[in-house]
Amino acid sequence: MAAPIAIHLEFGGGAELLFDGVKEHHVTLPSQSQPWDVKQLLVWIQRNLLKERPELFVQGDSVRPGILVLINDADWELMGELDYQLQDQDNVVFISTLHGG
Amino acid sequence: MCQVDEDYHGPLQRAEVPSVSKKCVKCKEATAAVVIRAGDAYCRGCFKEYFIHKFRAMLGKNRVIFPGEKVLLAVSGGPSSCSMLRQVQEGLSHNAHKKLRFLPGVVFIDEGGAVGQSVEERQRTVAELHAVFKATSFPFHMVPLEQVLDLPSSVVVTAASPSERAASAYKAAVDHFIQSDTTSCVTPRQQEETLLPDVQESHTHSLQQLIGSAKTLTAKEELLNTLRQHLLVHTARTEGYSKVMLGDNCTRLAVKLLSSISLGRGAQLAQDTGFSDSRYGDIMLLRPMTEYSAKEIAYYNRMFRVPAVFTASLDTRTADKSSIQHLTESFVIKLQADFPSTVSTIYRTSEKLQTACRSSSTEECWDRCLLCVCALDTAAENASAFKATLISEQLSQSKSPKATRPNPESTAPAGQCCSPAGGGDCGKAASDGGCCSSAKAPETAHLRSLLCYSCQLTIKDMGSNQSSVEHLPQYILSEAQRRRRRSQMRQEIRDFLLDEADEG
């Protein structure tokens, strides 16, 4: 049983429009049996934060192509992408590089 | 950049996930932070160096900006153009031999009126960018897109370009510049600023009507691009700049290349996507960001705190299929996710394109499209696909054989687009294009004859009746009339001319 973890989420490049224009979110992920990974985080975001048009943010179990993810200011490709296990106080950033957000 | 041994072919199967503590491929010491191409991980320091070097290398390789030249940076507030602004700042702060030697200025075009933002939203965007520009200490100009309605018609005329300067002249100019007092241009100038003038509501309304008269988002975006470019060129001319830098990045250009082909702009591709574009003659458009992918720019901006101001555009939060441009973008980006060399392959193709036509200086203004100012591509042979399209368009529009009779006044055809009130005029112009609603239709037909194929499609989208064309800004309409009078006069005095080519 993993303890609840507090993380900092940030959206930019137009992705914030899907979250009521709010760029920064401090959230606490509830405790669950396995440790939290990014894949589960995306599901959680979709259920709890995303205000509209989920297809503009996620695709399949990953983010929509064109949206970059940084974990603690490093490319998520270096961190294991969806399999990265989130730690307490992690900083996850989503930046849209698509035209018009 | 262009190394011989450059490797774009990452393995198609997913590379195994690198460990968290992967080292930078460059310095092999620091922990990597960014993966640029498949497998190339850079640390923060090396990434910054690589990014800054690439900008200078791009300008150094092309040698088009002469020392002391005034260059206008077109900054929209988006990540690419803001990153370009930062690169120019970096370039000017360096020690003498690597320093950029031109005089930059910044222009921002406020398109809020065209994309339907409220006055408050526009003010907020302008205020945020004002702070960004103020911090650069470059002169800057903030221009509302509404000003496009008051442009002079000379904007769409290619001005005589200054005589081509040879590569040797570039070297001489640089040497001369280095020898002469280099501090002269470094002395801090008084920061000039042109603030956004108050925009009349009626102007915003006319602009909205103009954009709104295009039915599809595809045509709206094309129209907006055209107007924006005219206003940029006009601002550069009135403020005395000879080059305009645009922020198009590699990803953007790959999308633009494919969508331009889909829009029928194949003949203009080289100018639309190349590094330098001299269609306006005296003002050269440059795209110095074309070596960067959208990802590199986003990471750079994030890591080195480059401020960018997000503004919604016409295609914000629309479905993939809302416009050709948007669909192409989503196609390229999705392909890029699985095949990481997609964007660079498309972009490398665009670099090799050239238009096989006469050089820009010898062309007359009536060989140029009235909207995009590129060479006209409509002088096609009879057996071409373009002529076939025109014929089938005419055939499909004439409803009954009566409509094409030489004397159609007797039977006004009940064309589907004839307005009931204009029924009387309808027959008169029916022989002209087959589709009309007023006696002014020939003028619309004439306007279309001044456009390239792709711009014709955009105007066609605005409706075939005269009223929609009237929404076009006055400078375009009056230039169309001028060209019409010129060609009429040329017809009249044709017999007295020695040679067609002498006309000028």
Mean pLDDT, 10 residues at a time, chain A of 101 residues: 86 90 92 90 92 87 92 90 91 90 68
**Contacts A16 to B, Cβ<8 Å:** 310
Task: Quote the pLDDT of residue B76.
Answer: 93
CB contact under 8 A, A101 and B312: yes
**Calpha distance B28→B137 (Å, rounded):** 38
Nearest to B33 among A18, A74, A83 (CB): A74
Rounded to 5 degrees, what angle do the CA atoms B436, B437, B440 make? 80
Task: Quote the pLDDT of residue B302.
Answer: 93
E strand or H helix that includes residue B457: helix B453-461
CB contact under 8 A, B302 and A95: yes
Size of the A and B interface in Cβ pairs below 8 Å: 88
**pLDDT reading at B483 higher than 80:** yes
DSSP-assigned letters across all residues of B15-44: PPPPPTTPBPTTTSSSBP-EE-STT-EE-H
Do B487 and B365 meet the contact criterion of CB atoms below 8 Å apart?
no
Confidence of residue B6 (pLDDT cuts 50, 70, 90): low
Residue B360: which CATH number?
Answer: 3.40.50.620
Confidence of residue B421 (pLDDT cuts 50, 70, 90): very low
Angstrom CA distances, A65 to A6, B88, B341, B390, stand at 27, 30, 14, 40
Does residue B174 sit at the A interface (CB-CB below 8 Å)? no
Task: Quote the pLDDT of residue B377.
Answer: 82
**Calpha distance B223→B389 (Å, rounded):** 23
Contacts 24+ apart (CB under 8 A), B126-129: B126/B196, B128/B77, B128/B307, B128/B309, B129/B75, B129/B77, B129/B309
Query: Which residue type sits at A22?
Result: V
Task: Quote the pLDDT of residue B399.
Answer: 63
Do B357 and B377 meet the contact criterion of CB atoms below 8 Å apart?
no
Does residue A99 sit at the B interface (CB-CB below 8 Å)? yes
Residue of B nearest to A101 (CA): B316
Do B304 and B48 meet the contact criterion of CB atoms below 8 Å apart?
yes
Q: Which residue has the higher pLDDT, A31 or B380?
A: A31
Question: What's CA B449's distance to the chain center, in Å?
Answer: 22
Task: Quote the pLDDT of residue B414.
Answer: 41
Do B21 and B31 meet the contact criterion of CB atoms below 8 Å apart?
yes
Q: Which residue has the higher pLDDT, B438 or B3?
A: B3
How many separate domains does chain B show?
A: 1
Give chain A's radius of gyration (CA, Å): 13
Confidence of residue B313 (pLDDT cuts 50, 70, 90): confident
Q: Please indicate, yes or no, if residue B81 is contained in any of the structural domains.
A: yes
Token pair for B182: 């280099």
Residue A61: which CATH number?
Answer: 3.10.20.30
Domain of residue A72 covers 5-96
Confidence of residue B163 (pLDDT cuts 50, 70, 90): low
Q: Please indicate, yes or no, if residue B24 is contained in any of the structural domains.
A: no
The two most distant CA atoms of chain A are separated, in Å, by: 42
Does residue B334 sit at the A interface (CB-CB below 8 Å)? yes
CB contact under 8 A, A74 and B299: no
Do B203 and B149 meet the contact criterion of CB atoms below 8 Å apart?
yes
Q: Please indicate, yes or no, if residue A59 is contained in any of the structural domains.
A: yes
Q: Please indicate, yes or no, if residue A91 is contained in any of the structural domains.
A: yes
How many separate domains does chain A show?
A: 1
Q: Please indicate, yes or no, if residue A101 is contained in any of the structural domains.
A: no
Do A6 and A28 meet the contact criterion of CB atoms below 8 Å apart?
yes
Task: Quote the pLDDT of residue B191.
Answer: 75
CB contact under 8 A, B17 and A13: no
- pLDDT cut 70: percent of chain B above it: 78
CB contact under 8 A, B299 and A99: no
Task: Quote the pLDDT of residue B410.
Answer: 42
Considering A46-55, B89-98, B176-185, B354-363, the range whose residues carry the highest mean pLDDT is A46-55
- pLDDT cut 90: percent of chain B above it: 38
Domain of residue B184 covers 63-158+167-364
Q: Please indicate, yes or no, if residue A53 is contained in any of the structural domains.
A: yes
Confidence of residue B95 (pLDDT cuts 50, 70, 90): low
Q: Please indicate, yes or no, if residue A42 is contained in any of the structural domains.
A: yes
**pLDDT reading at B189 higher than 50:** yes
Rounded to 5 degrees, what angle do the CA atoms B129, B48, B334 make? 75
**pLDDT reading at B3 higher than 60:** no
Which region among A23-27, B178-182, B263-267 has the lowest average model confidence (pLDDT)? B178-182
Question: Among residues 16-45 of chain B, which lie with CB inside 8 Å of chain A?
Answer: 17-18, 20, 22, 31-35, 41
Task: Quote the pLDDT of residue B4.
Answer: 59
Confidence of residue B84 (pLDDT cuts 50, 70, 90): very high
Which of the 8 DSSP states describes residue B451? S
**Calpha distance B482→B111 (Å, rounded):** 29
Task: Quote the pLDDT of residue B420.
Answer: 41
Considering B93-102, B437-446, B484-493, the range whose residues carry the highest mean pLDDT is B484-493
pTM comes to: 0.84
CB contact under 8 A, A78 and B298: no
* Chain position carrying tokens 């060479």: B375
Average pLDDT of span B427-443: 47
Task: Quote the pLDDT of residue B21.
Answer: 56
**Calpha distance A3→B156 (Å, rounded):** 66
Confidence of residue B352 (pLDDT cuts 50, 70, 90): confident
Average pLDDT of span B381-390: 81
Q: Which residues, including other chains, have CB under 8 Å from residue B174's CB and lie 6 or more apart?
A: B67, B101
Which region among B57-66, B185-194, B259-268 has the lowest average model confidence (pLDDT)? B185-194
